């Protein structure tokens, strides 16, 4: 009961401190970590007993699903090369760099055991990266690459981690076996994700939008993770795949499901992330007390490993990003978002570690060599990267002036609104030609629609005056204004969903417009 009370305290602190973090312009995981560190010094505080086997399937799926739903397949495909170079190659390079460093620092530690921790600390946290990128207004392509890396690198790191842990316990390691395991995990994970998405789409169409449809969407990531894990695939890739593969639809039923599920996912993501980072700070002191050896030696080892993690990212990103940029320029001399040393610096400094590192470290078996020491080092890597980089990244972005211009974001939003509005009025014109559409009702619906688009933030630029000025004089059987409004909104939503899949469209802006349209669909005229 005491542990449950403490967990509720961490969640309550998340609710209170997250708005505070937003007001003082720092990522809320940073503030929750600091809260956990302060809480650790409260005398007599009970420790949370967490089953490591339940951490991955319970904590990771909702966080990955929520983050992946904010991007799109098109984003991944357009930036596949830099994402893979970070999510696969950089993870492997970091794991080996940390592994060799640990073997040199800790006498008697097997290299394969050191590589297990290297894999655990290699992937930057997708939630922290997403939170920082959204708050700082980074350029679209840079934000896409960082978010794509955060969503993809967990699969590479966790498969590498599983292979290293198994090799440590059995004493047998084969590079061929490790590569085959990784390849199988990727294929099975993607297949399970696609199959789960197809089944989900089928069920969503047959279930009522709320509460059954919304509840189904909440269960999907856990089901995908469990199914992939049972098939020896990557649960992480299964969750990311199902999130990207779930189509968005324009009908009213889908919009209601999307509104409820979207709000619920935001709440879950906030509580789970906040509690997890507060837990890191809370447990850091307890973990340090369990390790044999002098504290200053432990801190020194952890500091060296943290430095390796940070430096390796710089040493990798600068030459690789330079080569990638030259290849891009060969295909297109007129790049909309060129990448220079400023963007590379921000990307290199945006390597905060988080939930995946926490879960992987705690999941080390009880008989693992130097388990307590390795967990302490992992916790320090999380704390230092999150506090040091998370707190200074906003300053660095402002200093280097690496941010998307407000007018560019406004123009992108207006373009999506324009497409949605035109689609809505086209549907209205179609209804106008039908025999059962009353002219007065059509005209009233048109006037209501003009007011609605104005309230949604649409700023006319003269290109759409024709559709808005047409008059309706056809008579027939009565169709209600609200029914016409629903038809127009469905057509507008479909236009936004189609825009979301286009190359160059920022999915976060499309989702913002889509959410406004969904909200309008619940309001009668």
CA 36/CA 16 separation, integer angstroms: 14
DSSP for 294-320? -HHHHHHHHHHHHHHHHHHHHHHHHHH
CA atoms within 13 A of residue 283's CA, in its CB half-sphere: 26
Radius of gyration of the chain (CA): 25
H helical segments located in 291-389: 295-331, 341-349, 355-362, 371-384
Tokens matching residue 511? 């989702």
Contact 401, 342 (CB under 8 A): yes
CA 147/CA 129 separation, integer angstroms: 6
Residue 476: pLDDT band with limits 50, 70, 90: very low
Q: What is the mean pLDDT of the chain?
A: 82
Percent of the chain whose predicted confidence (pLDDT) is above 70: 87
How far from each other are the two terminal CA atoms of the chain, in whole angstroms? 50
CA 488/CA 55 separation, integer angstroms: 45
56-107 pLDDT, tens digit per residue, is 788 888 888 887 887 788 888 888 888 889 988 999 999 999 999 999 999 8
Tokens matching residue 71? 């991007």
| Backbone φ, ψ for residue 476 (5° rounding) | 175, -160
Cβ atoms within 10 Å of 315's Cβ, excluding its own: 14
Architecture field, domain 2-404: Up-down Bundle (1.20)
Q: Is the pLDDT of residue 215 over 50?
A: yes
Tokens matching residue 465? 């005056």
29-63 pLDDT, tens digit per residue, is 888 889 988 888 888 777 666 776 777 788 888 88
Q: Is the pLDDT of residue 471 over 60?
A: no
Q: Is the pLDDT of residue 317 over 90?
A: yes
Which sequence spans correspond to the domains of the chain? 2-404, 407-521
Q: Is the pLDDT of residue 387 over 70?
A: yes
146-175 pLDDT, tens digit per residue, is 888 887 888 788 888 888 888 888 876 667
Q: Is the pLDDT of residue 414 over 50?
A: yes
Contact 91, 102 (CB under 8 A): no
Contact 149, 347 (CB under 8 A): no
Average pLDDT (115-141) is 79
Residue 465: pLDDT band with limits 50, 70, 90: very low
Residues 6+ apart with CB under 8 A from 417: 453, 456, 457, 458, 513
Q: Is the pLDDT of residue 353 over 80?
A: yes
What are the Cα distances from residue 351, in Å, to 33, 130, 133, 308, 499? 16, 11, 12, 12, 31
Cβ atoms within 10 Å of 486's Cβ, excluding its own: 15
297-310 pLDDT, tens digit per residue, is 889 999 999 999 99
The whole-number pLDDT of residue 130 equals: 64
168-201 pLDDT, tens digit per residue, is 888 766 677 767 777 888 899 999 999 999 999 8
| Backbone φ, ψ for residue 71 (5° rounding) | -120, -165
């Amino acid at each position: 009961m005491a542990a449950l009370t403490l967990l509720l305290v961490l969640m309550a602190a998340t609710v209170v401190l997250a708005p505070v973090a937003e007001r003082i312009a720092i990522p809320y995981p940073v503030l929750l970590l600091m809260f956990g560190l302060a809480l650790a010094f409260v005398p007599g505080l009970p420790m949370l007993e967490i089953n490591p086997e339940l951490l991955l399937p319970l904590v990771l799926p909702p966080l990955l699903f929520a983050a992946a739903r904010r991007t799109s397949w098109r984003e991944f495909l357009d930036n596949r090369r830099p994402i893979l170079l970070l999510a696969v190659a950089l993870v492997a390079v970091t794991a080996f760099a940390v592994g060799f460093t640990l073997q040199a620092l800790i006498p008697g530690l097997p290299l394969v055991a050191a590589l297990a921790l290297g894999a655990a600390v290699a992937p930057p946290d997708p939630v922290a990266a997403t939170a920082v990128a959204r708050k700082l207004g980074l350029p679209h392509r840079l934000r896409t690459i960082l978010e794509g890396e955060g969503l993809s690198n967990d699969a590479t790191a966790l498969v590498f981690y599983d292979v290293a842990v198994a090799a440590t316990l059995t004493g047998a390691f084969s590079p061929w076996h490790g590569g085959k395991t990784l390849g199988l995990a990727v294929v099975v994970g993607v297949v399970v994700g696609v199959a789960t998405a197809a089944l989900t789409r089928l069920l969503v169409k047959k279930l009522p939008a709320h509460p059954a449809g919304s509840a189904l969407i909440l269960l999907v990531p856990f089901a995908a993770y469990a199914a992939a894990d049972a098939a020896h695939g990557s649960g992480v890739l299964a969750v990311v795949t199902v999130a990207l593969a779930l189509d968005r639809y324009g009908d009213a039923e889908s919009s209601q499901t999307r509104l409820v599920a979207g709000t619920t996912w935001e709440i879950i993501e906030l509580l789970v992330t906040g509690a997890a980072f507060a837990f890191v700070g809370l447990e850091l002191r307890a973990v340090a007390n369990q390790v044999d050896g002098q504290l200053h030696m432990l801190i020194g080892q952890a500091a060296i490993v943290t430095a390796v993690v940070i430096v390796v990212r710089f040493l990798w990103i600068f030459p690789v990003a330079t080569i990638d940029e030259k290849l891009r320029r060969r295909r297109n001399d007129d790049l909309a978002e060129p990448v220079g040393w400023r963007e590379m610096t921000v990307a290199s400094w945006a390597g905060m570690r988080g939930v995946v590192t926490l879960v992987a470290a705690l999941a080390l078996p009880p008989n693992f060599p130097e388990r307590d020491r390795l967990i302490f080092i992992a916790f320090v890597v999380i704390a230092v990267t999150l506090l040091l980089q998370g707190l200074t990244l906003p300053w660095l972005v402002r200093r280097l002036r690496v941010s998307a211009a407000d007018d560019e974001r406004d123009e992108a939003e207006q373009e999506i609104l324009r497409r949605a509005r035109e689609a809505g009025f086209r549907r209205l014109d179609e209804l106008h030609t039908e025999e059962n559409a009353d002219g007065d009702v059509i005209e009233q619906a048109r006037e209501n629609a003009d007011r609605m688009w104005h309230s949604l933030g649409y700023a006319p630029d003269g290109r759409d005056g024709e559709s808005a000025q047409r008059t309706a004089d056809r008579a027939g059987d009565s169709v209600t204004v609200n029914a016409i409004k629903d038809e127009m909104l469905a057509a507008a939503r479909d236009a936004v969903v189609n825009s979301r899949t286009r190359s160059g469209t920022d999915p976060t802006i499309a989702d913002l417009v889509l959410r406004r349209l969904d909200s309008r669909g619940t309001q009668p005229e």
